């Protein structure tokens, strides 16, 4: 039996989530001094200037990290607000899972809306795809789907309220 069932429950959330790796919550992961850029590159991460890598993460397989035991420092340290609430015993696992599902539904809606725009590159993070869609529309006659802007506003408000930490309003996985 685990000595910390609440933390076990929080860890189970991640197995069903992956939002902090998929490009939905963040654009970039910064390496820290303890990280070995060469070793991470050899494991398939595309490290830029020895300092960061973009999301969606190349190591993400479905919703799981493909190099979990060797993942970079920031990935080890990051705990979203749902994870923290469950790990502290202050939030029910089922409630946190419901919020993750709601985020995933909203992201799927965004994917559908972005598919018909210039922001349809799945290898880019969501915020970047959205910005590309807006920029593309301003230079073309093709209108954006009317739901796109309000859907993005709703999604970002949900992610801010339930996943990101209050002082992190940039897209960098860089809070300390």
Q: Does 159 bind ligand SF4 (CB under 6 A)?
A: no
Q: Which part of the chain contacts ligand SF4 (CB under 6 A), choosing from 19-27, 117-125, 131-139, 144-152?
A: 19-27
Q: Does 144 bind ligand SF4 (CB under 6 A)?
A: no
Q: Does 31 bind ligand SF4 (CB under 6 A)?
A: no
The structure tokens listed for 59 are: 């190591």
Q: How many binding residues for ligand SF4 (CB under 6 A)?
A: 21
Rounded Cα–Cα distance for residues 86 and 94 (Å): 9
The structure tokens listed for 153 are: 């506003």
Residue in 11, 57, 13, 19 with CA at minimum distance from that of residue 163 = 19
Residue 124: is the preceding peptide bond cis (ω within 30°)? Answer: no
Residues 80-119 that bind ligand SF4 (CB under 6 A): 80, 82-83
Q: Does 47 bind ligand SF4 (CB under 6 A)?
A: no
Residues ≥6 apart with Cβ < 8 Å to 44? 58, 59, 66, 67
Q: Does 124 bind ligand SF4 (CB under 6 A)?
A: no
Binding site for ligand SF4 (CB under 6 A): 13-14, 17-21, 29, 57, 59-60, 65, 67, 71-72, 75, 79-80, 82-83, 163
């Amino acid at each position: 039996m685990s000595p910390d069932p609440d933390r076990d429950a929080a860890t189970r959330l991640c197995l069903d989530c992956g939002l902090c790796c998929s490009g939905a919550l963040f654009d970039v992961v910064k390496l820290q001094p303890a990280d070995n850029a060469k070793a991470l590159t050899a494991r398939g991460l595309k490290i830029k200037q020895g300092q960061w890598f973009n999301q969606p993460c190349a190591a993400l397989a479905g919703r799981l990290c493909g190099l979990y035991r060797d993942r970079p420092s920031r990935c080890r340290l990051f705990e979203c607000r749902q994870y923290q609430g469950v790990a502290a015993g202050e939030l029910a696992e089922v409630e946190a899972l419901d919020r993750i599902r709601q985020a995933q539904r909203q992201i799927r809606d965004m994917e559908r809306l972005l598919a018909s725009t210039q922001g349809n590159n799945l290898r880019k993070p969501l915020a970047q795809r959205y910005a590309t869609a807006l920029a593309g529309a301003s230079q073309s006659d093709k209108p954006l789907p009317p739901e796109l802007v309000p859907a993005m506003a709703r999604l970002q408000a949900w992610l801010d309220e339930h996943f990101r930490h209050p002082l992190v309003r940039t897209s960098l996985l860089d809070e300390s």
